Structure 1
Amino acid sequence: MRTTLFLVSCVAVLACLGAPDVAHGLVSQPSSGAWPRRLQPAEPESVSMSRAGLRGATLALEEAIAGGDIKGAVLLVARRGRIVLHEALGVRDGFNASWPDMPSPPMPRDGIFDLESMTKPFTVFLAMRMQESGRFPGFKIDNPVVSYFPEFADASNPDKRLVTIRDLMRYVSGEDMDASGVLGASDRWHTMLTAPLLYTPSRKVLYSDLGFRLLGHVLEKAGGSSLQSLMKAYIFDPLEMSSTSYRPKLYMPAKSDRFVGTAWSSVRGRYLRGEVQDETDYDVEENTGTSQHGHLTGCDGLFSTALDLAKFAQMLLNRGVHVRGLDALCNPMLLVCPGERVTSRSSVERMTTLQTGDLGLPTPAVTFAQNLFYSGKGLGWEMVDPGAWPGGDHTSTVAYSKTGGAGTLLVIDPDPARDLMIVLLTNHGLPGYDHLGVDADQMWYWDEFDAMIEHIRAEEVSDAVSLSMIDVP
């Protein structure tokens, strides 16, 4: 009897405490039936994974290093909140064209990598957080871009008045892949804002770095601060992502021995370590705003570690909840778990499910570049594709991924039977652009990107991890 009264009293107390959007509050069970989880190291067998199967993933990376396709990598795999593999391989720095045999220390497990386009989901997440927070009056993702930058539309581009923030987030804005003439322009943002559309908005999917650069610019305007400050307040600090940042040489100088090198830049005349490799993004960072508060881009520019990315992925798998305490404290009888609801379940669903309808490729992608350029999109994410997809052939139909052009990949499979993430970070460096163009069918191709996906063994690693789940048919 006393036990029953105690539990009833606890439920009453918890009900009084239980505002789910309050930091360190009590979060109810997600609709999936899975408890919010805090990442913890564990043995593979504890979550029904094969140690030998996971070894196949690291063997694929060892082969890539031995064959000279990459110099080093960090691989993290987690299932049901348990980190079953977190391994560093090879050396910290990638290929250096001016000094091919440059000495390099071993790759650290907490190496800080240039994420390139893996920045995009963070930009989207920030937009959703700004909309939900209520701290930015009038900000909605369905607002037109022209309401923030009137110069975005002019008489020669009437369709640009139709472009919304959401259109930028799901790659249907009509913006070209990039704008010409940005490097060295007297007003770089004016050049990007006034670039003509390639097609009528909401008529097709086309991957656009330009669209995400503009998305970040809108968020800085609406938020009254830099992307660095906004993301720190709304993403990095709440998720305890202490090694994630733009411009790490400026914002995380004490961690410089962990910066992973990518390549020699002939434009900058130096080897790049802790600097975004994409020359356009670097040019914008250095030449807009001030040295301490320069405008950043929503396209590329973030640096992070495998563990920090895993925290972001686990929050998505938790349907918007970040658990700071041990998940052993979750009490099934009370139906609550200590944690912080960082964003709503509905926002996570919108970001990570198909948001482009039938606007994507009518058939499975034949190449990885086709998947990148034209596949069905979530908000910032590439959805699983039965054709060429870096997440491999053995995920569920609800999996999603994001590739970083310098050789990084994040695959998340929220299917309750899988509840899986794969974080693959390498120092491959950006592929070249000699074989980027449009074929006879008016489809973009990018042979070097396809080769990069093969070099980092994206499919082999993903398939080995997926097949190591011994309880999934």
Structure 2
Amino acid sequence: MKTRSFIVSFVAALACLGAGDEARALLSQPSSGAWPRSLQHAAPESVGMSSDALYDAVAALEDAVVEGDIQGAVLLVARRGRIVLHEALGERDGFNAGWPDMPSPPMPRDGIFDLESMTKPFTVFLALRMQESGHFPGFHIDDRVVSYFPEFADPSNPAKSLVTVRDLMRYASGEDVDAGGVLGASDRWHTMLTAPLLYTPGQRVLYSDLGYRILGHVLEKVGGGSLQSLMKAYIFDPLEMSSTSYRPKVYLPRKHDRFVGTAWSGVRGRYLRGEVQDETDYDIEENTGTCEHDQLTGCDGLFSTARDLATFGQVLLNRGVHVRGLDVLCNPLIAVCPAERLLSRSSVASMTTLQTGDLGLPTPAATFAQNLFYSSKGYGWELYDPGAWPGGDHTSTAAYSKTGGAGTLMVIDPDPARDLMIILLTNHGLPGHEHLGIDADQRLYWDEFDAMIEAIRAEEVNDAVNLSLMGVP
């Protein structure tokens, strides 16, 4: 009786703090579960998952390590706001061609990984958050890029002046996958901004690192700071993502022993730990901006841990709400909720649902690369595909994913029957480009990317997790 009396008194006291209206507003737009969640650890069975079936996902990664496809990995699985699996396997550092026998410590569960293209959803989140914040009243994602960078215009192609920030976000800007001649250019941003369009904007989907580099450059222009400072202010600090950063060797130096190595760089002449592996992004980081203001890229460059990524993913599952403390207080029967809305429900929906209409190639995709380059997109995310899709065969059709080229993957399934996220981080390293080209149907193929998805056991891991759900078809 004393315990019940204390809880009632505690809740009543909180309700008197004036938070009731805000809490009700938050709870009127709940997560895929009964109410917004904070992440806490729990047994799989407590959220309707089989421990034995769940560990088939770990076994798949153990096989990948034993067979030498990867040297190490971290896997995190959460359902209904509960972390039911968080395992580290193998060694911290990936293969080192310059020193094949380099010693490496065991993989830490809080290893800080090179996310590569998993940076893109953060860039989109930042753009939408800046639009909604009220701090940048002149900014909207329907703004034309040329309004920020007049040199973006192309006198020989008037359509380029019509490209909007939204077009960049949904991969329908007409920009090529990347621009040539950036490495070592005297003015790298001028080279990218003046690159000709490959096709007419709004007519097709094509995955574009170039488009996201320009997107990030627009946000830096609007925000008056680097992507690092903007994301720190609008994402990392509010979510307490203390191990997420661009350029961790610069911004997280005390955590260097947790940096996960990816590969030997012949260009830089050293093994890469805490440095973005993509040579173009690294070149831009090192050779643009000023000492006071980095200029970074919106396509690649972030480093993070599985736990930090899970916090970000839970905000999406909460439809834009971040819960601090005990999510039990967000029960709809209680008038308080220790939560903050970071993004509107409609913006989260636009990020994670179809934004390309019929511009993408017909599904199912025949290869993982085809899914990456052409399939249906949200803003920064690849959507469910019944063909070659790293999310496997057993998600709902509402699921969405993002792959990082160095061997990382995040799959989120907001379907109320699942309310699930799977975060797979490995030290595979970027795939090569020897078999990247255009096939007889004028579609890009990239055999090494397909091989990377198979090497990290993406489908096997996701299938095992989904098959561990009890009572879910």
TM-score (norm 1): 0.95
1:20 deviation in Å? 3.9
1:146 counterpart residue number? 146
Corresponding letter in the other structure for 2:128:
M
The number of residue pairs the alignment matches comes to 465
Matches within 5 A, 1:270-349: 270-334=270-334, 336-349=336-349
Q: Could you give the per-residue CA deviations for residues 62-85 of structure 1, whole angstroms, max 9, x where no partner exists? A: 000011100000000000001000
Partners of 1:322 and 1:340 within 8 A in 2: yes
Match of residue 432 from structure 1: 432
SS at match of 2:241: coil
Segment drifting more, 155-164 vs 165-174 = 155-164
Task: Give the AA of the match of 1:399.
Answer: A
| 1:386 has 2:396 as partner | no
Write the letter of the residue equivalent to 1:85: L
- Indicate the residue corresponding to 1:47 in structure 2: 47
The answer on whether the counterparts of 1:29 and 1:337 sit within 8 Å (CA) in structure 2 is no
Q: Which runs of 5+ in 2 are unaligned?
A: none
Any conservation in 2 of the 1:14–1:26 contact (CA below 8 Å)? Answer: no
Q: How does 1:74-93 map to 2 (within 5 A)?
A: 74-93=74-93
| Aligned equivalent of 1:160 | 160
Evaluate the alpha carbon distance shift between residue 294 and residue 132 of structure 1 in structure 2; reply closer, same or farther with a 3 A threshold: same
Residue 369 of structure 1 is matched in structure 2 by 369
Alpha carbons of 1:18 and 1:332: their partners in 2 closer, same or farther (altered >3 Å)?
closer
* Cα displacement (A) at 1:29: 4.3
Report the residue type matching 1:231 in the other structure. M
Partner of 2:420: 420
Q: Deviations over 1:308-348 (max 9, x none)?
A: 00000001000111111111223432354221111111110
Amino acid at match of 1:273: R
1:442 aligned partner, one-letter code: Q
Measure, in 2, the Cα distance between the counterparts of 1:161 and 1:30: 38
Take 2:136 and 2:42, find their aligned partners in 1: how far apart are those partners?
41
Alignment match, 1:28: 27
**5+ residue gaps, structure 1:** none
Q: 1:12 to 1:423 in 2, by over 3 A?
A: closer
Say if 1:29 and 1:36, in contact at 8 Å, map to a contact too.
no
Q: Distance in 1 between matches of 2:321 and 2:44?
A: 24
Query: In the aligned structure 2, how far is the partner of 1:461 from the partner of 1:426?
Result: 12
Structure-1 residue corresponding to 2:238: 238
Distance in 2 separating the partners of 1:29 and 1:459 = 35
Query: Per-residue displacement from partner, 1:202-236 (whole Å, max 9, x unpaired)?
Result: 00000000000000000000111100000000000
Cα 1:18/1:168, change in 2 over 3 Å: farther
Alignment partners' CA distance in 1, 2:87 and 2:187: 44
Structure 2 distance, partners of 1:346, 1:14, is 30
SS in 2 for 1:337: coil
How far apart, in 2, do the equivalents of 1:274 and 1:283 lie? 15
Residue matched to 1:17:
19
What letter is aligned with 1:234?
Y
- How far the C-alpha of 1:17 sits from its partner, in A, is 2.6
Q: Which residue of 1 aligns with 2:250?
A: 250
Q: Distance in 2 between matches of 1:260 and 1:283?
A: 20
The sequence identity of aligned pairs, in percent, is 78
* C-alpha RMSD over aligned residues: 1.8
Q: How does 1:103-114 map to 2 (within 5 A)?
A: 103-114=103-114
Asked if structure 1 preserves the Cα contact closer than 8 Å seen for 2:96 and 2:264, the reply is yes
Give 1:137's aligned residue.
137
Partner of 1:188: 188
CA contact (8 A) 1:143 1:165 kept: yes
- 8 Å Cα contact 1:11/1:334 also seen in 2: no
2:13 and 2:378 map into 1 onto residues whose CA distance is: 38
- Conserved in 2, the CA contact under 8 Å of 1:27 and 1:336? no
Aligned-partner Cα distance in 1 for 2:431–2:386: 24
- CA deviations over 1:173-196 (Å, ceiling 9, x no partner): 000000000000000000000000
